[in-house]
C-alpha cells in the first residue's frame, strides 16, 4: 500500500526430525513441480502480512525486528510441511513511491533548513559583533591620536 519493495531470501531444508515425521511430511506436501513455488508463496505472504502491519519508518530503520517476526511465523507455518527454516535475510528495503519518499524526507529537509538558518544567523551576529568591536577600536585609536 505504501510502495515499499523488500528483497530477501529464506534458507530452508527438509526437517530431519523423525519424531515429528519431518521427512515424511515434506514428501507428502511437496509432491509435484510446484514445491519451490509453494514455499516461495508462503514466504512472500508472510512478509506481506508483516509489512502491512509495520510502520514504514520501522521497515527502513529496524530490519532485525521484521526479520525476527517473519522468521518466527515462517518456522511455524513451514514446520507443518516438513520444512526446517534455517534463516531469513532481508537484503534491501526501498521506497518505490516518489511521493512517500519525498514525504519521508520532508522532516529531514526541514531540520537541515533550520540548522542552516541558525548557522547563518550566528555567523551574521558574529560578523556584526566583530565589526562593532573593530569600529570601537578604530574610534578609540582615533581619540587617542587626537589627544
* 27 and 74 fall within a common domain: yes
| Beta strand segments in 1-146, E | 4-14, 83-95
What gap in Å lies between CA 101 and CA 106, rounded to an integer? 9
Number of domains in the chain: 2
Per-residue pLDDT, 2: 55
Q: List the domain range (segments joined by +) for residue 87.
A: 4-96
What gap in Å lies between CA 111 and CA 130, rounded to an integer? 28
* 60 and 124 fall within a common domain: no
* Mean pLDDT, residues 10-26: 81
Highest mean pLDDT among 62-71, 74-83, 120-129: 120-129
The answer to whether 1 touches 52, Cβ cutoff 8 Å, is yes
pLDDT digits (tens, 9 = 90+) for 71-99: 999 998 888 888 889 989 988 887 777 77
Is the model's pLDDT at 12 over the cut of 80?
yes
- Alpha helices in the chain, H assignment, sequence order: 22-29, 35-52, 56-61, 63-79, 98-146
CATH number (domain holding residue 37): 3.30.479.30
* 44 and 58 fall within a common domain: yes
* 10 and 71 fall within a common domain: yes
* Mean pLDDT, residues 100-128: 86
Residues in Cβ contact with 141 at an 8 Å cutoff, skipping those fewer than 6 apart: none
The answer to whether 133 touches 125, Cβ cutoff 8 Å, is no
Per-residue pLDDT, 118: 95
Amino acid at each position: 500500500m505504501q510502495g515499499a519493495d523488500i528483497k530477501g531470501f529464506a534458507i530452508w531444508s527438509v526437517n530431519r526430525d523423525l519424531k515429528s515425521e519431518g521427512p515424511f511430511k515434506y514428501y507428502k506436501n511437496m509432491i509435484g513441480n510446484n514445491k519451490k513455488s509453494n514455499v516461495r508463496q508462503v514466504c512472500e505472504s508472510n512478509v506481506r502480512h508483516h509489512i502491512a502491519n509495520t510502520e514504514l519508518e520501522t521497515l527502513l530503520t529496524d530490519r532485525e525486528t521484521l526479520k525476527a517476526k517473519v522468521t518466527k511465523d515462517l518456522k511455524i507455518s513451514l514446520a507443518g510441511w516438513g520444512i526446517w527454516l534455517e534463516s531469513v535475510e532481508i537484503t534491501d528495503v526501498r521506497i518505490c513511491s516518489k511521493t512517500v519518499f519525498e514525504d519521508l524526507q520532508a522532516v529531514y529537509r526541514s531540520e537541515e533548513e533550520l540548522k542552516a538558518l541558525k548557522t547563518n544567523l550566528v555567523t551574521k551576529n558574529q560578523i556584526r559583533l566583530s565589526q562593532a568591536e573593530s569600529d570601537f577600536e578604530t574610534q578609540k585609536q582615533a581619540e587617542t591620536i587626537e589627544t
